[in-house]
């Protein structure tokens, strides 16, 4: 546990510095990895990656500490991160935020225990529910009928759920959502804590919230007990590197460490770990400055997008209409394209093929663009000019669409674990209404299952998924790669 009375210099990078010092010794290596500083690997890859990076691609030998039992430079780096993120403990994850989420759930919820969670959760959360044997109690998020997306859960929904299930072992909240909307987390935490229920936060898209006053209150400052935070998404570290922040009290940090160790590879990447250490320092020391630039660029982009006929990029306007208790991360640009008479996927492909622009995701009605400290006026100008060009060429075909379609929130027939391990049979997907799903059906991104093991399949959800498939949007989870059949619980 970090010493909260100790003033720690956030300019330090003990893990990265320790790795550099070890590499500087240039020791003869008779341990894995077998490429031995790149000498034993394909030269074209070595030349691309560079020998400096390969010199710190190490294994858990004593000089560079052990992620499973940190005592030296990894422990120091994690303590610095805990201070930066207002946590008692911070664990570095090389299994992405999915690994951190699984650790949160498996360290607080066991077989047969209830976990309260919104239905618009990432598939990793449901995977953890299956592994834990817990019984999910799904909460209905706020549905946006104009955009066709789900936002956060309301305080009223949480109060009702906690009142009906005071014996729940944990409450999980998505904060922010993929689209940047933030629930009233501070009040939600207070409500759950009144019943002794720990609050777990999927903070995959919130690493930057801690470092600028104009952004929504971050999870740990709102009183959350644990938060799984994707440093690689918006914090500047390498892909697959994340952190798990923990507050002692309702959660046992020793239990968290034990579960974390069970789920984590015994050969963690020190490149990923070093990137977490340096990303933390950059955010702590320069975050306010770099995020100020990103926020300015994002707001300018939002205003310019909203001046393009047929496009709409929501901001605080939608939050105000929904509830003053919701907040919003303005670095997320969710751009509705449905009034152009195009799907989000069509716009994504036009941006890729004609303008060399890649977006975060597309769906039937929107594209999502993320603005970060890595953006410049040039990158924003390029995006705006591309959108203007696309909108101008489809002016004649512009169609005003009615309300968007949205899937049912399926009813649970049995626990996800029971369904996943049950005897199954494959049936035609289009004829599966009234059966119990035994596998996931997940449009990806954003990775939110439309159907999960244990849920009743409805005709509305069959139609919704079929609409995605016809539009060419990627759907994952089905064992049948043709997407013609789905596994259901037999009889």
pLDDT one-digit tens code per residue, 167-195: 999 999 999 999 999 999 999 999 999 99
Give the model's pLDDT for residue 401: 55
Distances (CA, A) of 44 to 50, 131, 144, 265, 356: 10, 41, 49, 27, 26
Beta bridge partners of 98: none
Give the residue ranges of DSSP H helices in 152-269.
155-164, 185-193, 231-234, 253-263
Give the model's pLDDT for residue 5: 62
Question: Does residue 444 have a pLDDT over 90?
Answer: no
**Of the candidates 88, 70, 455, which has an alpha carbon nearest to the alpha carbon of residue 249?**
88
Span 97-114, average pLDDT: 97
Q: Are 240 and 321 in the same domain?
A: no
Q: Are 135 and 202 in the same domain?
A: yes
Q: Are 331 and 388 in the same domain?
A: yes
Q: Between residues 225 and 2, which one has the greater pLDDT?
A: 225
Residue with the two structure tokens 């049950």: 422
The sign of the torsion formed by the CA atoms of 457, 462, 464, 469 equals positive
Span 449-475, average pLDDT: 91
Question: Does residue 281 have a pLDDT over 70?
Answer: yes
DSSP states along 344-394: HHHHHHHHHHHH----SEE-SSEEEEE--TT--HHHHHHHHHHHHHHHHHT
- Please give the share of the chain, as a percent, with pLDDT higher than 90: 83
In sequence order, the 6+-apart residues with CB closer than 8 A to the CB of 190 are 223
Residue 269 — pLDDT band, cuts 50, 70, 90? very high
Question: Does residue 341 have a pLDDT over 80?
Answer: yes
Q: Are 107 and 63 in the same domain?
A: yes
Tell me the C-alpha distance between 227 and 77, whole Å. Answer: 18
Q: Are 353 and 330 in the same domain?
A: yes
- Among residues 283, 317, 346, the one where a domain terminates is 283
Say if 435 falls within a structural domain. yes
Q: Are 381 and 427 in the same domain?
A: no
**Of the candidates 472, 448, 485, which has an alpha carbon nearest to the alpha carbon of residue 124?**
448
Q: Between residues 322 and 203, which one has the greater pLDDT?
A: 203
- Please give the share of the chain, as a percent, with pLDDT higher than 70: 95
Question: Does residue 473 have a pLDDT over 90?
Answer: no
Span 470-485, average pLDDT: 89
Asked whether 242 and 264 are in contact (CB, 8 A), the reply is no
CATH number at residue 75: 3.40.640.10
Q: Are 159 and 181 in the same domain?
A: yes
Q: Are 426 and 449 in the same domain?
A: yes
Q: Are 23 and 108 in the same domain?
A: yes
Say if 9 falls within a structural domain. no
Say if 472 falls within a structural domain. yes
DSSP code of residue 33: S
Q: What stretch of H or E contains 327?
A: strand 327-328
CATH number at residue 484: 3.90.100.10
Residue 95 — pLDDT band, cuts 50, 70, 90? very high
Q: Are 271 and 327 in the same domain?
A: no
Q: Are 86 and 210 in the same domain?
A: yes
Q: What stretch of H or E contains 170?
A: strand 170-174
Asked whether 302 and 330 are in contact (CB, 8 A), the reply is yes
Question: Does residue 138 have a pLDDT over 90?
Answer: yes
The sign of the torsion formed by the CA atoms of 159, 161, 166, 167 equals negative
Give the model's pLDDT for residue 322: 52
Give the model's pLDDT for residue 471: 86
CATH number at residue 368: 3.90.1150.150
Q: Are 334 and 264 in the same domain?
A: no
Identify the domain containing residue 454 by its residue range. Answer: 416-489
Asked whether 188 and 160 are in contact (CB, 8 A), the reply is no
Say if 405 falls within a structural domain. no
Which tokens belong to 288?
């306010």
Q: What stretch of H or E contains 467?
A: helix 459-471
Give the model's pLDDT for residue 145: 80
Say if 5 falls within a structural domain. no
Span 277-297, average pLDDT: 98
- Among residues 233, 261, 283, the one where a domain terminates is 283
pLDDT one-digit tens code per residue, 24-81: 999 999 999 999 999 999 999 999 999 999 999 999 999 999 999 999 999 999 999 9
**Of the candidates 332, 300, 358, 102, which has an alpha carbon nearest to the alpha carbon of residue 206?**
332
Say if 143 falls within a structural domain. yes
Q: What is the 3-state secondary structure (H, E, C) of 414-432?
A: CCHHHHHCCCEEEEEHHHC
Give the model's pLDDT for residue 410: 87
Question: Does residue 321 have a pLDDT over 80?
Answer: no
Domain count, the chain: 3
- Among residues 233, 260, 283, the one where a domain terminates is 283
Average pLDDT along the chain: 93
Say if 309 falls within a structural domain. yes
pLDDT one-digit tens code per residue, 381-418: 999 999 999 999 986 565 555 567 778 788 999 999 99
Say if 110 falls within a structural domain. yes
pLDDT one-digit tens code per residue, 216-264: 999 999 999 999 999 999 999 999 999 999 999 999 999 999 999 999 9
Asked whether 174 and 151 are in contact (CB, 8 A), the reply is no
Residue 368, burial from CB neighbour count under 10 angstroms (0-12, 13-18, 19+): buried
């Amino acid at each position: 546990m970090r010493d909260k009375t100790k003033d720690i210099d956030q300019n330090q990078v003990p893990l990265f510095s320790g790795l550099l010092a070890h590499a500087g010794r240039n020791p003869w290596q008779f341990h894995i990895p077998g490429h031995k500083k790149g000498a034993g690997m394909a030269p074209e890859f070595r030349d691309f990656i560079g020998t400096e990076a390969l010199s710190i691609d190490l294994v858990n030998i004593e000089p560079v500490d052990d992620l499973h039992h940190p005592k030296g430079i990894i422990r120091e780096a994690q303590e610095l991160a805990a201070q930066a993120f207002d946590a008692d403990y911070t664990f570095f994850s090389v299994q992405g935020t999915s690994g951190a989420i699984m650790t949160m759930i498996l360290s607080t919820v066991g077989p047969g225990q209830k976990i309260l969670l919104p239905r618009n959760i990432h598939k990793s959360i449901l995977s953890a529910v299956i592994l834990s044997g817990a019984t999910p109690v799904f909460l209905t998020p706020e549905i946006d009928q104009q955009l066709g997306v789900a936002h956060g859960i309301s305080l009223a929904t949480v109060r009702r759920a906690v009142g009906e299930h005071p014996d729940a072992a944990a409450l999980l909240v998505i904060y922010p959502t993929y689209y940047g909307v933030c629930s009233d987390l501070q009040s939600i935490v207070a409500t759950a804590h009144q019943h002794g229920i720990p609050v777990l936060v999927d903070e995959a898209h919130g690493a930057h919230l801690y470092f600028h006053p104009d952004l929504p209150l971050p999870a740990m400052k709102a009183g959350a007990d644990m938060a799984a935070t994707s440093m690689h998404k918006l914090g500047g570290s390498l892909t697959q590197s994340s952190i798990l922040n923990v507050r002692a009290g309702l959660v046992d940090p020793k239990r968290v460490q034990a579960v974390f160790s069970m789920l984590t590879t015994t050969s963690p990447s020190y490149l990923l770990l070093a990137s977490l250490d340096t990303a933390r320092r950059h955010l702590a020391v320069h975050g306010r400055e770099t995020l100020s630039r990103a926020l300015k660029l994002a707001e300018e982009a939002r205003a310019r997008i909203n001046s393009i006929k047929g496009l709409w990029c929501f901001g605080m306007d939608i939050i105000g209409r929904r509830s003053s208790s919701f907040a919003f991360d303005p670095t997320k640009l969710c751009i509705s394209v449905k009034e152009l008479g195009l799907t989000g996927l069509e716009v994504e492909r036009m941006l890729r093929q004609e303008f060399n622009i890649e977006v975060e995701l597309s769906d039937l009605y929107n594209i999502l663009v993320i603005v970060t400290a890595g953006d410049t006026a040039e990158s924003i100008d390029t995006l705006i000019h591309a959108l203007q060009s696309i909108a101008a060429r489809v002016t004649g075909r512009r169609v005003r669409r009615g309300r968007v379609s949205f899937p049912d929130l399926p009813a649970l027939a049995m626990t996800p674990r029971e369904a996943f391990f049950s005897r199954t049979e494959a049936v035609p997907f289009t004829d599966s209404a009234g059966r119990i799903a035994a596998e996931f059906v997940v449009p990806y991104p954003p990775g939110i299952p439309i159907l999960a093991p244990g849920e009743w399949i409805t005709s509305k959800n069959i139609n919704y998924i079929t609409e995605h498939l016809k539009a060419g949007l990627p759907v994952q989870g089905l064992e049948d790669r043709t997407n013609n059949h789905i596994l259901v619980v037999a009889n």
